[in-house]
Amino acid sequence: MTDTPDTLLDGTHAVLTPEYVEFRFTLAGIYSRFLAWLLDALIVVFGTGVFMTVLSLVMVAFPGFGSALGIVVYFLVDWGYGIALETAWSGQTVGKRALGLRVIQQSGVRIGFYHAALRNLARPVDRLPLLYLVGGLTALLSGSQQRLGDMLAGTIVVRERRLKAPSALGATGEEGLLADPLFVSRVKRLSAEARELVLSAALRREELRMEARLRLFSALGTRLQELLAMEKPAHLSDEKWTLLVAAALLPAPGARAGGQVRGAA
């Protein structure tokens, strides 16, 4: 695979699957991360200000207590904002979504509450002495552009790109199986890690060398039969079988705007 200028500028993070197939993610640069943080900070300050304005009307008789409470509320909103949104939106806040960034685990899969909480609770240290100087310097010196919170949580921040869903996902030739409620329900119960791997393999298979591609889909085909507790139809190759599972994971064609799926790059 050849690197684009943006990829070379921002750096990449490589993930090697158990099948020895490499996926590469474009790391988010310091500048884009700062802009995302600035937008999030404005939202937090505005939200805290609105809350305190309402609260002040109730606590006119206790101005000193109101000021102290305001500081506490600010930190609670600041921490809670990042933890809640990164958990609910799989590694994104409003700022990150606007800038096309996402937090993922170093293994390449999406983060959960544990990772979001760790990286956000470490923010007070990363902010020292002001404007994330400690976090920024740590990210510049880190090979994966990780601030201290990312190192603690085992996460990285990557750029997203829109990957066009291959036509094979929309027309597999196995519409009968896709209409089978048992098959679809079992596919929907796959773990988040399994879904990520299936969709990444389906969307990026054209980027793989043929040997790696065959090895990856052979392993995925066998693994999916075990996870779904279903036999692969004899006339389907391992790759077609995996694409069929990927098609069942995607929204209905009408719900896929422009036939595109957001993916980390």
Tokens at residue 190, please? 């796959």
Of 105-119, 162-176, 199-213, 226-240, the poorest mean pLDDT is in 162-176
pLDDT above 80 for 255 = no
pTM above 0.85, yes or no: no
Q: What is the pLDDT of residue 168?
A: 53
What's the CA gap between 107 and 110, in Å, rounded?
A: 9
Model confidence at 202, pLDDT cuts 50, 70, 90, reads confident
What's the CA gap between 52 and 144, in Å, rounded?
A: 39
pLDDT above 70 for 215 = yes
What are 65-109's pLDDT values in tens digits? 666 777 788 888 888 999 999 999 999 999 999 999 999 999 888
pLDDT above 60 for 173 = no
pLDDT above 90 for 200 = no
Q: What is the pLDDT of residue 169?
A: 57
